[in-house]
């Protein structure tokens, strides 16, 4: 595979698995900024070692989690003087459970994506602003000439719809 195709393949697999790997990293690291640092370091290692991965379509997510696991351990060694770091055996247990839950998390994320895709475009936009944007709900409400309370109520109704959809999908599985 030529270099450009390999880069495209990596990026495609990365974006399919990034949310699940990030959730795995959050199992061992609670600070948002530390998670971002570990994700960045893990991505660089994965990018550099991608050529070595057998069956990328099948193994990428778990392989990326293994890389993230080593980056978490490296990060912990670097921060070992901090009193708020979990002890090694406890972190190992948490990370092992995170690896075993990877497939379930991936499936749950697919259900969530499917449920969100069923929403009206305006509802999807509101969810995106609420969860993926740096825009405050109050600012968004002002731009839309709505009261913030009305926007929060809309968000509540959307969350209920998504939760009901998720419950149906999980119970069917």
pLDDT > 80? residue 90: no
Predicted pLDDT at 76: 83
Q: Kindly state whether residues 89 and 114 are assigned to the same domain.
A: no
Q: What CATH number should be reported for the domain holding residue 9?
A: 1.10.1740
pTM given for the model: 0.53
| Predicted confidence (pLDDT) per residue in 125-134, tens digit | 888 887 766 7
Rg (CA), the chain: 19
Nearest one of 77, 68, 25 to 43, comparing CA atoms: 68
Q: Kindly state whether residues 151 and 81 are assigned to the same domain.
A: no
Nearest one of 140, 89, 116, 135 to 19, comparing CA atoms: 116
pLDDT > 60? residue 108: yes
* Torsion sign (Cα): 60, 61, 65, 68: positive
Q: Kindly state whether residues 24 and 58 are assigned to the same domain.
A: yes
Average pLDDT in the chain:
85
CA gap 170, 173 in Å, rounded? 5
Helical packing angle, 148-172 and 121-132, nearest 10°: 100
Q: Which domain holds residue 47?
A: 3-100
Region 80-107: mean pLDDT is: 73
Count the domains in the chain.
2
| Predicted confidence (pLDDT) per residue in 49-84, tens digit | 998 888 888 889 999 999 999 999 888 887 766 555
Q: Are 69 and 95 in contact (CB under 8 A)?
A: yes
Q: Are 57 and 1 in contact (CB under 8 A)?
A: no
Q: Kindly state whether residues 17 and 93 are assigned to the same domain.
A: yes
CA gap 112, 162 in Å, rounded? 8
Q: DSSP of 80-100, one letter per residue? A: TT-TTSPPHHHHHHHHHHHHH
Q: DSSP of 42-54, one letter per residue? A: HHHHHHHHGGG-S
* Torsion sign (Cα): 64, 65, 71, 75: positive
Q: Kindly state whether residues 74 and 124 are assigned to the same domain.
A: no
């Amino acid at each position: 595979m030529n270099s450009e195709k390999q880069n495209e393949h990596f990026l495609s697999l990365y974006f399919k698995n990034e949310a699940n790997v990030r959730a795995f990293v959050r199992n061992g690291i609670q600070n948002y900024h530390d998670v971002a640092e570990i994700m960045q370091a893990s991505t660089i290692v994965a990018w550099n070692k991608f050529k070595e991965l057998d069956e990328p379509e099948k193994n990428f997510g778990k392989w990326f989690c293994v890389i993230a696991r080593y980056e978490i351990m490296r990060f912990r060694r670097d921060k070992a003087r901090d009193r708020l770091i979990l002890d090694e055996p406890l972190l190992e247990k948490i990370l092992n459970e995170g690896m075993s839950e990877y497939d379930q998390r991936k499936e749950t994320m697919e259900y969530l994506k499917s449920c969100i895709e069923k929403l009206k475009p305006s509802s999807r936009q509101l969810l995106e602003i609420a969860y993926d944007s740096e825009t405050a709900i109050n600012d968004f409400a002002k731009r839309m000439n709505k009261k913030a309370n009305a926007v929060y109520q809309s968000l509540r109704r959307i969350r209920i719809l998504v939760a009901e959809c998720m419950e149906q999908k999980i119970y069917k599985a």
